[in-house]
Structure 1
Amino acid sequence: MLHPEVMKKTQEELTRVVGNDNPVEEHLIHKLPYLQAVAKETLRLHPSAPLLLPRCPAQTCTAGGYTIPKGAKLFLNARAMHRDPQLWENLYWRICAGLHLGERMLMYTLASLLHMFHWEVPIGQKPDTTEKFGIVLEKSTPLIAIPTPRLNNL
């Protein structure tokens, strides 16, 4: 979970950035890298699939002091690795072939939703970022967000 101060600052910045009705304003274009960093950090901390697809070593090997026999199924816990402060900044990953398209689509969708709507949680409620652990992560409490159109032509 992001520190409450970081979450508050992020929300304030996003509100300031998307507060203009013209999506091609120069200031908005300059803020997209910030939005990308927020999205990537969110996916690092809350991956949709915390356990990566099983891997089978081609030969017997040793990892973390354990002998892994050839052909054994290994499940990699991406969630734990992404949260390990000693490792996550220096990890080298093979990446998904669709990563760049996925990132662009995520940014386009997120920016569109932030630009077209004001978002609020129901009065008296706070977003709960806790998760239920499993093959696919789910929120412990579903997020309820109320969109209100910002633009006249919606």
Structure 2
Amino acid sequence: MTPAMNCPNCGEAAKLDANFCVGCGTRLIVACPGCGEVNSADSRYCHTCGRGLVPGTASTPSRPAVISCPRCRASNSAEADFCYSCGLPFDEGRGRQTGTVSAVLPGQPAGFWIRAVAAIIDALCLAAVEFMLIVIAPGISLDIYLGNL
């Protein structure tokens, strides 16, 4: 036999799996046995705490078996206190979450000296290529060579 609940409008007894009262047609609600939050009768889980409202459903959401380190993104056991890869300690509030991470990390553009050194390296690479072209084809200038491509 299915357990019964009472209609909040007319007090008529209704089956636990009923969505509407047979006496007055009012939409039935179910109180969560865990947190007391009111849910609609067709809900299988509490929308506040996740506890099962229908007999036979899981009472609490399961913890993930594997967690991701917030620093190095390595996979770790859910019971781990430290990251197996980088050694970061997991605190209860932050380290055990497996949320998504943005693909683009915010950063600052390179400073003046880094750009200046990069420009010098680029110039040296171009000079080396030009030197090799002079050795390979001594009678042809770079303008003529590039024009023949």
TM-score by length of structure 2 reads: 0.22
Query: RCO (CA 8 Å, sep 6+): is it higher in 1 or 2?
Result: 1
